[in-house]
Copies of this chain bind each other. A is one copy, B any other.
Amino acid sequence: MATIKQVAQAAGVSVATVSRVINESGYVHEDTRRRVEDAVRELNYTPNEVARSLYKRKSKLIGLLLPDITNPYFPQLARGVEDRLQEQDYRVILGNSDESREKETEYIQTFLQNNVVGVISSTHAPDHEMYTGLKIPVVFLDRTVNDSPSVYADGREGGRQAARELVQRGSARIVIIQGPAAVRTAMDRYEGAAEQLEKLGASYQVLKTDSFSFTEAEAWAQELFRQYPDSDGIIASNDIVAFAVLQEAVRLGKKVPQDVQIIGFDDIPLSRLLTPSLSTIHQPAYEMGRAAADLIIALIEEAYVERRNIQFAVSFIERQTTRKVEL
């Protein structure tokens, strides 16, 4: 990697002049500009971001903290974030927190040590001091936070929709699978569903679970039908759990959607390829990622940002785990 000094030498000017042309700042004669540009090309020079970062006390790096990239919902968020950031010449440092405060703090710390200019986090502890004390902007992604910048989907409405669709399609003994109580979004979905079912005067049961993980999804699915064997409509806490529920239902010889209808949440890419394909509540994850990136960039680059809380609408995606509604 060539340095600015070498370019200066090659072009027969001072480093200041080189700096001026590459940053397009200050005056520089057309001729010398050309000479410098030639030298830059010649030496294949690109500025050392580290030196820049040291001087300016800020970088083009943004920290992205996700619970677990392995969970099928997050890659889409990550991709959205990354794509948008990339377009604006920012780069992302990735961290998997596993919802652990300790890991989160550690990452935030090293983000800071690397002069990141902002962080996008999908955390359960948005009001933890590790965030509130931060001097750089933070955007909470997939988390509802009122007084801090955030991008999220309307989980509550999603829950309502799921409930509505199920009832409309004739389920009468509905079970809501409630996700981890600590996860705000999971609770939103649950509350929305419960609220709507009550409003409709439908009876329902609740199965409490405490994680979204692959491995445990199967166990819950079994538990579900053990406790509520005659349930005819399941509102799953997310698509993964819905996959497991479908599998268990089939194993028990139930017909889906005839005997039991299932609705997931998230609309991960594979739910369309499931057999039968999964009816679910769609969250525009990729767009949400992009929006979060947009927001953090705005917060970094602009003095004032109007819309600091961006809510995305969710939508019911009708596929094959729910019955056709009679018109």
Contacts and interface: CB of A to CB of B under 8 A. Distances in A.
Interface of A: 1, 46-51, 53-54, 59-61, 64, 68-70, 72, 74-76, 78-79, 82-83, 86, 89, 91-96, 109-110, 112-115, 214, 217-218, 240, 243-244, 246-247, 250, 269-270, 272-277
Nearest to A63: B91
Contacts of A60: 110
Nearest to A94: B94
Contact of A275 (B46, B75, B275): B275
Contact of A69 (B69, B91, B217): B69
B270 A247 contact: no
Contacts of A53: 50
B61 A70 contact: no
Contacts of A113: 1, 46-50
A82 B95 contact: yes
Contacts of A47: 113
B46 A50 contact: no
A53 B277 CA distance: 50
Contacts of A217: 273
Contacts of A75: 69-70, 72, 74-75
The 4 nearest A-B residue pairs measured at CB:
A243-B273, A49-B113, A247-B275, A94-B94
Given A217-B273, A243-B275, 17 more contacts: A46-B112, A46-B113, A49-B115, A50-B54, A50-B113, A50-B115, A51-B54, A75-B75, A86-B95, A89-B110, A91-B93, A93-B93, A214-B272, A243-B274, A246-B275, A247-B275, A274-B275
B50 A214 contact: no
26 contacts: A1-B113, A46-B113, A47-B113, A48-B115, A50-B50, A50-B54, A69-B82, A70-B79, A70-B269, A72-B72, A72-B270, A79-B96, A82-B94, A82-B95, A91-B95, A91-B110, A92-B94, A218-B273, A240-B270, A240-B273, A243-B270, A246-B275, A247-B274, A247-B277, A270-B270, A274-B275
A121 to B, nearest CB: 15
A200 B79 CA distance: 43
A110 B75 CA distance: 22
A288 to B, nearest CB: 14
B114 A91 contact: yes
A247 B69 CA distance: 27
A82 B96 contact: yes
A122 B157 CA distance: 40
Contacts of A61: 93, 114
